Amino acid sequence: MSRTFSLAPPFTFESAVAKVRAAVMRAQTQRLQESRIVATAPKTGDNLADFELPNHLGEKRSLATLRERGPVVVTFYRGGWCPYCNLELRAYQAVFPEIKAAGATLVAITPELPDASLSTAEKNGLEFEVLTDADAVYARQVGLVFTLPEPLRPIYQGLGINIEEHNGDGQFDLPLAATFVVDIDGSIASAFVNADYTARAEPSDVVKVLQCVCHGGPSGTVG
């Protein structure tokens, strides 16, 4: 049916930082997992709130308009600086022809500013649109936002990751790993939300859900 997979990057943070720093990262992920943020996130059967967000050209895209063409896959990613996000985006690009064949639209939503999101799209060869959710306003509206904890910021800086360069000055708000299959009526046919940034919805399972939705079959939760 569906499963969660851990995206293994070409390097591990253990190899890039001291073990004590890696322990801090794991501890912060565990704290997020233990919070109620996932429990209160949108679920299968809920209606996903509409959005109107710009692509890198400043052209607005709304969920309501996209739904007029068919189901919509909405996936959130933290930023092009995240190796897990890049692998996820490439995995969606690999199944993008199947998503289109199912009569669906795929959009990725990120707090990255347009220039950064364009760079992410280009380096991953994405043919689907990436939309900028400046200051993570929409992600916060639907209950997916957490703020990068203070103990992690110098660790990220040590890895050459400057979140503010991607998101704007003073912006450390990031979305959870989340993917929703939204039916034409706005209801969520399938939902995946995880506080562990290394775990993502399996794109091939998303395609299976779309095929069920388009043929009037049961859907369910991905992951």
Question: What is the tens place of the pLDDT at every residue in 101-156?
Answer: 999 999 999 999 998 898 989 999 999 999 999 999 999 999 999 999 999 999 89
- Position 128 scores a pLDDT of 96
**Mean pLDDT over each residue of the chain, to the nearest integer:** 89
pLDDT tens digits, one per residue of 53-86: 999 889 999 999 999 999 999 999 999 999 999 9
Q: In degrees rounded to 5, what are phi and psi of residue 221?
A: -95, 135
pLDDT at 23 over 90: no
The pLDDT-based confidence of 11 (bands split at 50, 70, 90) is low
pLDDT at 219 over 70: no
* Contact yes or no for 184/219 (Cβ under 8 A): no
In percent, the amount of the chain with pLDDT more than 90 equals: 75
Comparing 158 with 9, the larger pLDDT belongs to 158
Residues 23-49, mean pLDDT to the nearest whole number:
93
pLDDT at 7 over 70: no
The pLDDT-based confidence of 14 (bands split at 50, 70, 90) is low
pTM, two decimals, is 0.87
Q: Which CATH number fits domain 4-214: 3.40.630.10, 1.10.10.10, 3.10.20.90, 3.40.30.10?
A: 3.40.30.10
